[in-house]
Amino acid sequence: MTMTAQPAAAPSTTAGSQLHASPAVRAALDAIVAQVQSASASLTGERPPNPGLKESYESLMARAAAVRGRALLYPYLGSGLGRGALVELADGSVKWDMICGIGVNFFGHSDPDLTRAALEAGLDDVVKHGNLSSNFAAYEFAETLLVEAKKGSNLRYAYLATSGAMANENALKVCFQKNAPAPRVIAFDDCFMGRSTTMAQIGDTADYRQLLPLNALVDYMPFWDETAAAAMGGKSRFIDHAVATLDRLIHRYPRQHACFIFELVQGEGGFRVGDRDFFKALMDVCKANRIAVWDDEIQTFGRTNHMFAYDLFNLGQYVDVMCVGKMTQACATLYTEEYNPKAGLLSGTFTGEGVSFRVGQRVIERLRDGAYYGDDGLFARHHAAFRAHAKALIAKHPNWFPPIPTLGGGGDHLVGGVGGMMRLAPFGGDKKKINDACKACFDEGLILFYCGHGPFHLRMLPPLPVFNESDWPRVFACLERGLARVG
């Protein structure tokens, strides 16, 4: 009897999966991460530039300026290495990075876990993923984000984008389609939406839309203002006034508003923290008039005492559309079942890079699993430490910190924000002096930035998950030296 040979069983995994699981690859990744950690161990505090690198650094700066048509705001060109809140520049200097690319690098520099995730992404067959063809990393990132978002809201779906401005553009399209033919949007005074043509028109900064043609129909509402509320006779009167203003807009343009854009904590507008009763009253009006509630969390996501700012105010049930970005690496527009758009509205060649998806997923997982949130969480403790050091600095140098009436006075009123969003207003909030202070602090080993529209503030978006509470005095020593050069 002749036996027929049976075909070999097909492997139960793909060749790509076998590559990622290869012991040789695992060992190589371990070795690279170990080398990064070893190299970054030498970064222990701020350090002045290396004189031997001065000429080469100036050459790099000149080349960068030639490419972009103007000098860089800061002479910042990284070497490619850091350690938590410390970053090494290409001139050999080391600085405390308390702005992290305006909040992008929330886990700081050369984080071993995120370094490994980025290296693993380098094994993928392509760099960019898109709507036509994509590896599953894009959907796993979105899936991880949605699991957390659904805990406190009715958000159900996510569409990925390559920038925060593009995520906002997609949100606007979703709102316009759902509430067609309504052509208008409502936004808060001093809001910021991004730098695209449309978002620059919605954002309330005239300098960002100089000489642009204006075709967006935007109505502005006052943001929550505790000082103004006190002057009006109390919180309820301020809220009543805001509701009456919104009602007038709706009466003036009946069925013409597609959405109301809520920054629950304003970012570029000055790290102004909102109020639940104020927001709820306005959202109730929106719901009664079929106006989408759009929650812009591109800067706030992950930074407050909750992962989502809507949970900080217990308003998740009101949110129809939401955008995230910055620390998530990949950006996304989230929406409810009701606002799930028709096929073809959202598309594009790119959704992002594999490294953004893999690193972004780890960021969300670590935020989920860490002891960061709540009134006693790490972020609340860091914010309390920031405020304590800021108040001590104000008491030590009162001449640097004159009262600002629109903030309610001096002292504690000059310190603000929530969680990982921190601001301080020296020199009366004068724009030129605040800019000078940013540059002076940079020279003293501290990187921060400004925010606000008058008064202006120094702002920090530090890498709180990897920042040591014991290092706050070192940061404030740099800040004090920088302010002394201006004051």
Give residue 9's pLDDT.
59
Q: How many whole angstroms separate alpha carbon 324 and alpha carbon 334?
A: 8
Rounded percentage of the chain residues whose pLDDT exceeds 70: 98
CA distance 96 to 166: 30
Q: How far apart are the first and last CA of the chain?
A: 100
- Side-chain-side CA neighbours of 188 within 13 Å: the count stands at 29
SS3 (DSSP) at 307: coil
Please state, in angstroms and rounded to a whole number, the distance separating the CA atoms of residues 452 and 430.
11
Instruction: Give the model's pLDDT for residue 399.
Output: 97
Structure-token pair, residue 41: 């161990």
Q: What share of the chain in percent tops pLDDT 90? A: 96
State the Cα–Cα distance between residues 251 and 143, nearest whole angstrom: 40
Cα gap 148→308, rounded to integer Å? 9
What was the pLDDT predicted at 10? 61
pLDDT at residue 148 tops 80: yes
DSSP 195-250: SSHHHHHHSS-GGGGTT-----EEEEEPPP-HHHHHHTTSHHHHHHHHHHHHHHHH
Distances from the Cα of 422 to the Cα of 125, 192, 216, angstroms: 41, 17, 32
pLDDT band of residue 100 (cuts 50, 70, 90) is very high
Sign, CA dihedral 326-312-434-197, equals positive
Rounded Cα–Cα distance for residues 159 and 173 (Å) = 12
The token pair at 406 is 């629109």
- E-strand ranges in 45-127 read 78-83, 86-89, 94-97
Mean pLDDT to the nearest integer, 421-435: 98
Confidence of residue 94 (pLDDT cuts 50, 70, 90): very high
Determine the distance from the C-alpha atom of residue 50 to the mean position of all C-alpha atoms in its chain, rounded to a whole number: 32
CA distance 395 to 399: 9
Q: 267-294, pLDDT tens digit by residue?
A: 999 999 999 999 999 999 999 999 999 9
Q: Which residues contact 231 (CB under 8 A, 6 or more apart)?
A: none
- pLDDT of 12: 83
pLDDT confidence of residue 154: 98
Average pLDDT over all residues of the chain: 96
Nearest CA-CA partner of 103 in 378, 383, 385, 462: 462
Mean per-residue pLDDT, 183-211: 95
Task: Determine the Cα–Cα distance for residues 379 and 82; give it in Å rounded to an integer.
Answer: 22
Secondary structure string (H, E, C) spanning 343-381: CCCCCCCCCEEHHHHHHHHHHHHHHHHCCCCCCCCHHHH
Predicted local distance difference test score (pLDDT) of residue 281: 98
CA dist 109 and 94 (Å) reads 12
Overall pTM surpassing 0.85 (yes/no): yes
Write the pLDDT tens digit of every residue in 4-13. Answer: 556 665 668 8
Give residue-wise pLDDT tens across range 8-57: 656 688 999 999 999 999 999 999 999 999 999 999 999 999 999 999 99
Contacts of 151 (CB under 8 A, 6+ apart): none
pLDDT level of residue 366 (50, 70, 90 thresholds): very high
User: Each residue of 402-422: pLDDT tens digit?
Assistant: 999 999 999 999 999 999 999
Give pLDDT, residue 5. Answer: 58
The CB-side HSE value for 67 (13 A sphere, CA atoms) comes to 7
* pLDDT, tens only, 243-263: 999 999 999 999 999 999 999
Which positions ≥6 away from 276 have C-beta within 8 Å? 313, 314, 315
How far is it between the farthest Cα atoms of the chain? 103
**pLDDT digit string (tens) for 83-92?**
999 999 999 9
Short-list 174, 188, 200, 196, CA closest to 292: 174
Contact of 78 with 110, CB cutoff 8 Å: no
Strand order in the sheet with 421-424: 415-418, 421-424, 456-460, 449-452
Least confident of 148-162, 203-217, 235-249: 203-217
Domains with residue ranges and CATH for the chain: 128-369 (3.40.640.10), 378-486 (3.90.1150.10)
Are 47 and 79 in contact, with CB atoms under 8 Å apart? no
Summarize pLDDT for 314-359 with one digit per residue, the tens: 999 999 999 999 999 999 999 999 999 999 999 999 999 999 999 9
Q: What is the pLDDT of residue 230?
A: 95
Give how far the C-alpha of residue 304 lies from the chain's centroid of Cα atoms, to the nearest Å: 11
